[in-house]
Structure 1
Amino acid sequence: MKYTPEAGFPYYYDLVKDMNYRSLFASSSTITLLNSISEEKAVYRYAPDKWSIKQIVGHITDHERIKIFRAFLMSRNESIELWGYDQNLLVNNSRFEELTLKQLITDFVNVRKASVSFIETLSENQLLIKGMARQYEITLEDFLKSIIGHEKHHINIIKERYI
């Protein structure tokens, strides 16, 4: 079955399911790509109702920040449903357009370093802990894959529609 981004977890997971998620979190390819984008290009929108590159970078960072916190709770056997959030509300109430792309990249790098640090502390047993993401029962490891899959989705969009 082919999923769409609106499906959430299964779509993002499918983008990286057979890849080494630890290597993907440690990779600098996203940072290299973002650093190649000019400030002028960073405000570009390919359609009036679409986010700018700056907003996408801020959204990727927000998403990782939120989801890694949920992964942390899951890793500690906190019985939670891995609920969604209103991405448009968060982007619309941000300062992403006021900040420079460099500032947004720095924030992303800092969040990523914290994510990698957390992931490195997880045991094999913790990676097998299960939780609910919408109607899907998933392991912590699969949840982590969906986090990096979300980034991959947006980077693909930047490559295909923005640059």
Structure 2
Amino acid sequence: MKYTPKDGFPYYFALVKDMDCPSLFSDSSTRTFLNAISEKKAVYRYASDKWSIKQVVGHITDHERIKMFRAFLLSRNQSIELWGYDQNALVDNGRFDELSFKQLIADFVNVRNASISFVDTLSEKQLKLKGMARQYEITLEDFLKSIIGHERHHINLIKERYI
């Protein structure tokens, strides 16, 4: 079965396959790809009602920031539902197009480094803890993998529709 972004977690899992969390978070291909995009190109939108590349990068960073906080709570065995958020409201209020692309990449890298630091502290037992995310019961490990799957989804869109 082929999943689409509307399927959520199964789609994101398919993008990361069976890689382990430390390898996924330490992969630098997104950073390398983003550093090759010019400031001029970073404001490009492939349609008037779509986000700019800057906004996409801001969204990826916001998503990771939000999801890592939820992952932290789950890792501490807090019985929580891993709730959603309004991505359009966050992007609309993010000021991403006002910031330089270098600032946005630096923010992405800083958030990623914090994520790596957190992931590196997790035990196998913690990675197996489960929480609810929408209609799915999901392990912390799979929840973390979905963060990178989400990133890959957006990087693939940039490659297909913006570049």
TM-score by length of 1: 0.97
Aligned to 1:12: 12
Give 1:72's aligned amino acid. Answer: F
- Check the 8 A contact 2:58/2:91 in 1, yes or no: yes
Gap regions ≥5 residues in structure 2: none
Q: Deviations over 1:67-97 (max 9, x none)?
A: 0000000000101111110000000011100
Aligned to 1:29: 29
Aligned to 1:145: 145
Aligned to 2:121: 121
Q: CA RMSD in A?
A: 0.9
After superposing on structure 2, the runs of 4+ consecutive aligned residues of structure 1 that deviate more than 2 Å are: none
- CA distance in 1 between counterparts of 2:77 and 2:14 reads 25
Aligned residues: 163
Q: How does 1:29-48 map to 2 (within 5 A)?
A: 29-48=29-48
Gap regions ≥5 residues in structure 1: none
Partner of 2:2, secondary structure, is: coil
Give the CA deviation at 1:20: 2.8
Q: How does 1:30-109 map to 2 (within 5 A)?
A: 30-109=30-109
- Check the 8 A contact 1:17/1:145 in 2, yes or no: no
- CA distance in 1 between counterparts of 2:92 and 2:146 reads 24
Percent identical across equivalent pairs? 79
Give 1:98's aligned amino acid. Answer: E
